[in-house]
Amino acid sequence: MLIDKEELETQADFIVSRLQGYADAGNKVFASCSFQTQSLPLLHMISRTGRDIPVYYTNTGFLFPETIAFADQLTEQLGLRVIGLQPDTAKLRQMDRQGRFLYTSDPDHCCHLNKVLPLQPLLIENDIWVNGIRADQSDVRAQMAEEEMAQHGCLRYHPMLAWNAPMIYYYRKQYGLPEHPLEVQGYRSIGCEPCTRKLFDQDLERNSRWSGLNKTECGLNTTLVGNNSI
């Protein structure tokens, strides 16, 4: 796929300007991030704004060590203010009656405890939630608008919605941005370690998550989304 380099830069400049505009209008702005390779362009654009936009990630306690190390690396490299959120529910209380972790028996509830609940207070405290989802990642995300209402009157902004993998790749190469260390091993959509597998060549990106289950989202893009788009 051929990439129009000038158009891509124009889009990136527009996103940077849009983020600056949100902040300059007096809004409290934050971003959420999974710290995968696909996260790099948006993180780099946030670093270009010159505004204090904190970046949060949910440190569930089940993340790959490589993901946490990658987050630390990018924090220093891009000069970001990165904050790890942790669940209030202790891991020993995240088991079913048979003594199995919830990620094996009730992954939706596991995601609710470890991802949704830690992020929810931020929607009360902030005005704008910057989220890097892409429409080509899942059917749920394909139905979303560039701006979408979340809970508690917080507005979600999806600057990367129309981007695709080749655009992500080009932007990363253009600015010399690294890739997640597990990607070279065959991981392309990387979440919690127990719920992530390597991909086969013909697999869709999100197929590497919750393999064998009728599940493609953790709840951040379903539970926390309101019903009205802008």
CATH of the domain at 152: 3.40.50.620
Write the DSSP assignment of 176-223 as a string of letters. Answer: T----TTGGGT-SS--BGGGB-PPPTT--GGGGBSTTSS----STTTT
Residue 209 belongs to a domain: yes
Residue 158 belongs to a domain: yes
For residues 225 and 70, what is the distance between their CA atoms, to the nearest angstrom? 28
- Domain residues for the domain of 64 are 5-17+28-222
Count, residues in the chain: 230
Based on the residue annotation, tell me whether 218 is a catalytic residue of this protein.
Answer: yes
Residue 230 belongs to a domain: no
Tell me whether residue 218 is exposed, middle or buried, using C-beta atoms within 10 angstroms of its C-beta: 0 to 12, 13 to 18, 19 or more: buried
Q: What DSSP designation does 154 have?
A: P
Residue 33 belongs to a domain: yes
* Total number of domains in the chain: 1
Q: Which of 110, 192, 195, 218 is catalytic?
A: 218
Q: Give pLDDT, residue 80.
A: 97
The tens-digit pLDDT sequence of the chain (230 residues) is 678 889 999 999 999 999 999 999 999 999 999 999 999 999 999 999 999 999 999 999 999 999 999 999 999 999 999 999 999 999 989 999 999 999 999 999 999 999 999 999 999 999 999 999 999 988 888 999 999 999 999 999 999 999 999 999 999 999 999 999 999 898 888 999 999 988 755 555 545 676 667 777 878 888 888 754 44
- The residue type at 71: A
- Bridge partners of 109, per DSSP, are none
Residue 207 belongs to a domain: yes
Residue 22 belongs to a domain: no
Residue 229 belongs to a domain: no
Residue 66 belongs to a domain: yes
Q: Which helix (H) or strand (E) holds 84?
A: strand 82-85
- The residue type at 16: V
